Amino acid sequence: MKAAVMHQFGDVDVLKYEDVETPTPRPGHILIKILAAGVNRLEHYIREGSVAPELPFPHILGSDAAGEVAELGQGVTGFKIGERVIPMPFYPLTKDEYDIRPISTAPSFSLLGLGTPGTYAQYMVIPARWVIKDNSGLKPEAVATLPVPLSTAVRSIKVVGEVKAGNKVLVHSGASASGSIQIQVAKVLGAEVATTVRDDAKAEYAKSLGADLIINTRKEDFVERVKAWTSGFSADVVIDNLGGDILAKSIDATRPLGIIVAFGFVAGTEVTFNIQNFFTAQKQLRGSMASDMEDFVWGLEQVRAGKIKPSFDHALPLSQAAEAHRLVAMNKVTGKLALLPWAE
């Protein structure tokens, strides 16, 4: 089969389009023919070498895919050849840990394309337990943009952020892969949503997703804007997918007793903030990591009901995986890119 393979860490050109052996499904596993793979920013960090310095090579990146069942391993029931499916993007690698909740706390928890070969390929193998039927009726390239952003948006907004109807919520980077879906999940839950962007084109996109207030942080201070929007109270919940110094300001943009969800590190992994102001206002800083299958299934139900739309930017042939990573690194993507393993 064809795959985008890494033999070393480095810039985008380490992604090589090559022939590799097609995997075969072991007992209890399914061979999925990948119709489209989604591209996540985390894969750019893994490729650079900053996330998993011990990664063995050669390696195939990719956590997100939409595909169809190509072959059933011994003992697998309930799936038919040719049926459209979505692989869960993360799960425990050890069977004994499958029922631990949240699954992200299982000792063997890993991501497709980190602990196992990923989705930048024509085929992949995965335990049948972690395969979801795709009833969305959407094109594979749109579905392939969903698994990580949708499942983790549900986790961070609904479960960790405890967002409720009537809440005023700030979601950063509203045109990003994660932010664009987080806005939609918060709206489904009945919240009012403010979001940040850094240019006008992305502002239009965030507005089209239902955001109530768009803050261009190149022109305005988001802490002040959120304060004015909430009549001086600040946000009930802030979802911070940027990190660094922005997280300190996200804490300032949260009301007393409010919740800040730390979700990403695009702007840095280190942050300094005033602990006295923090605890006297009794704010709660919570981490959100990955999701359980139940979160993803809930999100897919909203997609099927037409309440959440995939944030699909455009698709490229898998042979152009390096170009896809270049666009992500340069912040040139609105929503998310897909790779097509069967396109020329």
Ligand X SMILES: NC(=O)c1ccc[n+]([C@@H]2O[C@H](COP(=O)([O-])OP(=O)(O)OC[C@H]3O[C@@H](n4cnc5c(N)ncnc54)[C@H](OP(=O)(O)O)[C@@H]3O)[C@@H](O)[C@H]2O)c1
Q: Which residues contribute to the site for ligand X (CB under 6 A)? A: 40-42, 148, 152, 173, 175-179, 197-198, 202, 241-242, 263-267, 288-290, 328, 331, 333
CB of 35 to ligand X, least distance (A): 21
234: its two tokens: 């600040």
Separation between Cα atoms, residue 65 and residue 112, nearest integer Å: 10
Which class for 52: exposed (0-12), middle (13-18), buried (19 or more C-beta within 10 A)? middle
Nearer to ligand X, 241 or 302 (CB): 241
Length of the chain: 344
3-state secondary structure of 184: helix
Question: Which residue is listed with tokens 């930048």?
Answer: 120
- CB-nearer residue toward ligand X: 241 or 320: 241
- If the CB atoms of residues 233 and 273 are measured against ligand X, the closer one turns out to be 273
φ, ψ for residue 297 (rounded to 5)? Answer: -60, -40
Contacts of 224 (CB under 8 A, 6+ apart): none
Contact 203, 216 (CB under 8 A): yes
CB of 223 to ligand X, least distance (A): 14
Cβ distance to ligand X smaller for residue 72 or 153: 153
Q: Tell me whether residue 135 or residue 208 sits nearer to ligand X (CB atom).
A: 208
Shortest spacing between CB 326 and ligand X, in angstroms: 12
Q: What is the dihedral of CA 196, 197, 201, 207, to 10 degrees?
A: -10
The C-alpha atoms of residue 319 and residue 3 are separated, in whole angstroms, by 8
Number of C-beta neighbours around residue 22 at 10 A:
17
Taking CB atoms within 8 Å and a gap of at least 24, the contacts of 273-280 are 273/247, 273/248, 278/251
Residue 151 CB, nearest approach to ligand X (Å) = 8
What is the closest distance, in whole angstroms, from the C-beta atom of residue 213 to ligand X in the complex?
16
Q: How far is the CB of 340 from ligand X (least distance, A)?
A: 19
> What DSSP character marks residue 129?
G
CB 241 within 8 A of CB 176: yes
CB of 332 to ligand X, least distance (A): 8
Minimum distance of ligand X from residue 331's CB (angstroms): 4
> For tokens 């029931």, what's the residue?
77
Nearer to ligand X, 14 or 42 (CB): 42
